[in-house]
Structure 1
Amino acid sequence: MKAAELIFIPLAAMGHLVPAVELAKRLVARDERISITVLVLKLPFDEIESYIQSLKTNAAIDRGIKFLVLPEPENPIVMSSKRSVKKTVEAYKPLVKQIVRELIVNRPDSESQLVRGFVIDMSCVQMMDVATEHNLPCYVFFASGAGFLNFMLHLQSLSDDHGVDVTELKDPNNELDIPGFRNRVPFKVLPTLVWDKEFGCSYLLELARGYRKAKGIIINTFMELESDTLHAVSKGADFPPIYPAGLIINVNPQSDGRADGTDGTRDSIVRWLDDQPPASVVFLCFGSMGSMGVDQMREVADGLEQSGHRFVWALRRPSSGGGKLGLRDYENFEDVLPAGFLDRTAGIGRVVGWAPQAAILSHRATGAFVSHCGWNSTLESLWCGVPIAAWPMYAEQQLNAFSLVRELGLAVEIRLDYVWDRWTQSSNVLVKADELEKGIRQVMDAESVVRKKAKTMREVSRMAMVEGGSSYTWLGHFVEDVLRT
């Protein structure tokens, strides 16, 4: 009999929804007394609908997890600015209140105590109010790493405890001391929201204040990866318990969360990889929101050709029109790549649209990952033991890249301060072909330190997940705390 139901409220963007679903699957598999209702806030991201459809055909989801895809709010928000996520979450609050009331109040008395708490996304702290109204504990699922959490808490401490207006400090040559980081952190790798005086910085501060009010925080990391930053977070006397229960990723390469993966794309890429030598292929992919201008694409093409290495390049374009976010496939790559590039590299490379990332990273032929350093992609790469060439794009990715390159030695640098603005579809710099070529040669060096560290971290990450491992134990602590509530 189910003894504890949790209400999950993830952000409906691939980088947030996928790990939230994986966490839900882990919890119901860990203890049969737990059930989960996932409230999906419908946002206009291109790939969300196909992902949700793929979940409905997954038999594992039926065991203890149900999804309620919420209709758009009465006055839906157009995703056209940095404020859109906050406004959309706020717009959904009345509907979430109504649904939670039905889940709790309208049940028979014998079932009325089943709901034991909320697990909300790191970007949905406004939903804490709904939990408070029903006298329920509210946990935060922090889908990024402990380094970024530490940064947000430090930013909030500077503002609230020391009266520092960080937006006044903007200088690419400045550096910041952040607890848990061994190196001073350059301002140029901090999220660009920090320098947005009108909205961005205040939004980050609001989120950090919300985290301090949570019943606990589940962090998608593991102790052996970020021990220094995790210890720094847990030292705060007024900070809630933390549960470093990662890697919370989809480790099944046959299920990348794309309903149309049966169109032959996956099989075609895997067959091509099967014919390549071990650790000989560079995989380039920049996430569900990462794209680039034509000039930058042509520099990438030149850099790949100059390197001489085999490659799979996932190249996609931004959605256009209808307020949609996300990426779509190009109809013709020749329109955006240098003349003759596809013909000249036909024997050693593949340029594709959507790519089955988990299947590629786990393949024996893959030797390196040119990555935007989104946290899910980072964890997938570590799980597979594939070293990273860091090319961050947006959000906290620059800080992730800094941690991987300077703090952990698990990546080489292509460019740490590159920024792609999703709203203006422009970047701050043009990464030249020579920079990419250099990064690829470094990360593909069979004797490189970063390659050896990645292989070691592969084994460490897997040990953290098995019974007796650190993440297995922390997930167990969370389950125990929920059942005691």
Structure 2
Amino acid sequence: MEQRKENIVMFPFMAQGHIRPFLALAFHIVERKNCTVTFINTPLNIKKLRPSLPSNSSIRLLEIPFSSTDHGLPPDAENTDAFPHLIVELICASHSFKPSFTALISNLIQEQNGHRPLCIIADMFFSWTAKVAHEFGVFNAIFNAGDGYGMGVFHTLWLNLPHLATDSNEFPLPGFPESCRIRLNQIPEYLKTIKPTDSVVKFQQRLCHDWVESDALLFNTVEEFDHIGLTYFRQQIKRPVWPIGPVQLSMESKAGSWELYKNWLDSKASGSVLYISFGSQSTISMSQMMELAKALEASGKDFIWVIRPPLEFDINSEFNAEEWLPEGFEQRVVGEKNKGLLVHKWAPQVEILSNKSVGVFLSHCGWNSVLDSLSHGVPIMGWPMTSEQHFNAKKLEEEMGVCIEVANGGSCEVRHEDIVAKIELVMNETEKGKDMTRKAGEVMEMLKNAKKDEDGFTGSSLKAIDEFFNAALLQREKTTMSHNNGNLLGTREVLSSNSLV
């Protein structure tokens, strides 16, 4: 009789920056642990995911009912990529999932003749799933697609609001070593003006507090360069914290598109191309776009720019180069001189960064993009936009030496002369540029080693996955024994009794 495979339930928030790393983790777990995954999301997101899975996949896609209009949202508002300004509303609406999610877990258990899922891995915004998991005696983990440092700074700023208690431009971060200080210009604008009594503060603090309801935290990072951030969460949350990264999902190149980029990139010298992208949901202002375009032309560097309409316009509208770029820019730089490619909305980022001609990535410092870049040894020019991106940029520049910040925010004032100076500093064979490239190469090796499993060597992230899996198995054994004895212990008690915390 064939042995039953363990099943892991995964439930990411409705955004590509969350769904993609969750799906990458699903593939990773299936390969590493020979189990099945039940991947839950709303109907439109599941529909988009189906083509990416083979018919015989061990990953099963399962829809959870959701009607956006029931929550005062536009029709089909099931993903923040199309509605980036509605993220808070979508998070609030997601609390309505609880009854349906409970029913889905109950049905899964019935399908397996009472055999429970080994674990429920939920998004950082779905900490309420812990209570559902514990009702069924199932181990629950929060998977954060970011790193420990950036999310730790985000966590402590919202919980403690230290910048409101000082007049100093620089201040320590509660829970972090004294040496980890932050400057006022390194935090998002919206955090500078909030008050402790604001509803958004209460909302964010509740989200941060609720992480303690989970049995463990997973981060898409590695212990080797994220020890400070991971230690923060181990001390503050007092739960097992496992760095299981890098988990990355390379989007399949759309038919014919990669050949276009590859042929162009292959015609360029090694390390000579600047790749520019601000992620799937971010863009810059029209004035910033003008200055960046002027800088690219003045620098004379080859570039690929994934470009979207500026902040003042609908991000999903068609791009108007004549209005939003300097006069004749596209014809001169892209056409006549063949110095660049303007890519509207989407490009095969992982494939581009893997090409030897790419020397630097001008990025918003979203963690998925950071991993894409550093996994290929490409240093970063940081232009953080929001949330923990600012703290990612701080870590990358100050702690790791693989980044230099170009600008801060989507509406700050920038001058093309300053951007040119930063481009030349990184790309013109300066000592700074060489040092950044060398350190990015060292980080690339760290990331590779974390997932290496050969010649008796097991990388730190693979060990973390194994420890996480074993903890979930141990919890299930204990709850099963307790249930058989007529006393179904919760997962929290089981973990405590086994000194896993």
TM-score by length of 1: 0.85
Q: 2:251 aligns with which of 245, 252, 256?
A: 256
Rounded to whole Å, the distance in 2 between the matches of 1:14 and 1:37 is 18
Q: 1:134 aligns with which of 136, 140, 149?
A: 136
Aligned-pair identity in percent equals: 27
Q: Deviations over 1:88-130 (max 9, x none)?
A: 21122222122222222x335xx31231221101111122232
- The answer (yes or no) to whether the contact 2:150–2:389 under 8 Å persists in 1 is no
1:107 corresponding residue in structure 2? 111
Structure 1 position 83, deviation (Å): 2.6
Judged with a 3 Å threshold, the aligned counterparts in structure 2 of structure 1 residues 138 and 409 are, in CA distance, closer, same or farther, namely same
Cα RMSD (Å) of the superposition?
A: 2.6
Judged with a 3 Å threshold, the aligned counterparts in structure 2 of structure 1 residues 52 and 338 are, in CA distance, closer, same or farther, namely same
Larger C-alpha radius of gyration, 1 or 2? 2
1:445 corresponding residue in structure 2? 428
* Residue 175 (structure 2) pairs with residue 175 (structure 1): no
Rounded to whole Å, the distance in 2 between the matches of 1:318 and 1:8 is 34
Structure 1 position 63, deviation (Å): 3.3
Counterparts of residues 320-399 of structure 1 (less than 5 Å): 327-328=315-316, 330-346=318-334, 347-353=338-344, 354-399=346-391
Structure 1 position 49, deviation (Å): 6.8
2:261 corresponding residue in structure 1? 269
Judged with a 3 Å threshold, the aligned counterparts in structure 2 of structure 1 residues 10 and 439 are, in CA distance, closer, same or farther, namely same
* Residue 31 (structure 2) pairs with residue 29 (structure 1): yes
Structure 1 position 75, deviation (Å): 1.3
Rounded to whole Å, the distance in 2 between the matches of 1:166 and 1:181 is 13
Judged with a 3 Å threshold, the aligned counterparts in structure 2 of structure 1 residues 180 and 35 are, in CA distance, closer, same or farther, namely farther
1:245 corresponding residue in structure 2? 244
Structure 1 position 478, deviation (Å): 1.3
Q: Deviations over 1:9-56 (max 9, x none)?
A: 101211110000111111111112x2211111357xxxx577514323
For structure 1, which runs of at least 5 residues remain unmatched after alignment? 159-164, 421-426
1:423 corresponding residue in structure 2? none
**Aligned residue identity for 1:65:** I
Provide the secondary structure at the position in 1 that maps to 2:309: strand
Rounded to whole Å, the distance in 2 between the matches of 1:51 and 1:454 is 34
Structure 1 position 177, deviation (Å): 2.7
Q: 1:146 aligns with which of 140, 148, 151?
A: 148
1:93 corresponding residue in structure 2? 98
1:84 corresponding residue in structure 2? 89
**Aligned residue identity for 1:464:** A
Q: Deviations over 1:345-371 (max 9, x none)?
A: 132111111211101100011000000
TM-score by length of 2: 0.82
Q: Segments of 4+ in structure 1 off by > 6 A?
A: 318-321
Rounded to whole Å, the distance in 1 between the matches of 2:9 and 2:209 is 22
- The answer (yes or no) to whether the contact 1:383–1:461 under 8 Å persists in 2 is yes
* Residue 306 (structure 2) pairs with residue 314 (structure 1): yes
**Aligned residue identity for 1:247:** P
Rounded to whole Å, the distance in 2 between the matches of 1:172 and 1:338 is 40
- The answer (yes or no) to whether the contact 2:153–2:173 under 8 Å persists in 1 is no
For structure 2, which runs of at least 5 residues remain unmatched after alignment? 74-82, 476-501
Provide the secondary structure at the position in 2 that maps to 1:290: coil
- Once the two structures are overlaid, the 10-residue window that deviates more, 197-206 or 186-195, is 186-195
- The answer (yes or no) to whether the contact 1:10–1:41 under 8 Å persists in 2 is no
Q: How many residues align?
A: 447
Higher helix fraction (1 or 2): 2
Judged with a 3 Å threshold, the aligned counterparts in structure 2 of structure 1 residues 472 and 193 are, in CA distance, closer, same or farther, namely farther
2:488 corresponding residue in structure 1? none
Judged with a 3 Å threshold, the aligned counterparts in structure 2 of structure 1 residues 413 and 16 are, in CA distance, closer, same or farther, namely same
Provide the secondary structure at the position in 1 that maps to 2:223: coil
Judged with a 3 Å threshold, the aligned counterparts in structure 2 of structure 1 residues 343 and 319 are, in CA distance, closer, same or farther, namely closer
**Aligned residue identity for 2:451:** M
Provide the secondary structure at the position in 2 that maps to 1:226: helix
1:433 corresponding residue in structure 2? 416
Judged with a 3 Å threshold, the aligned counterparts in structure 2 of structure 1 residues 183 and 338 are, in CA distance, closer, same or farther, namely same
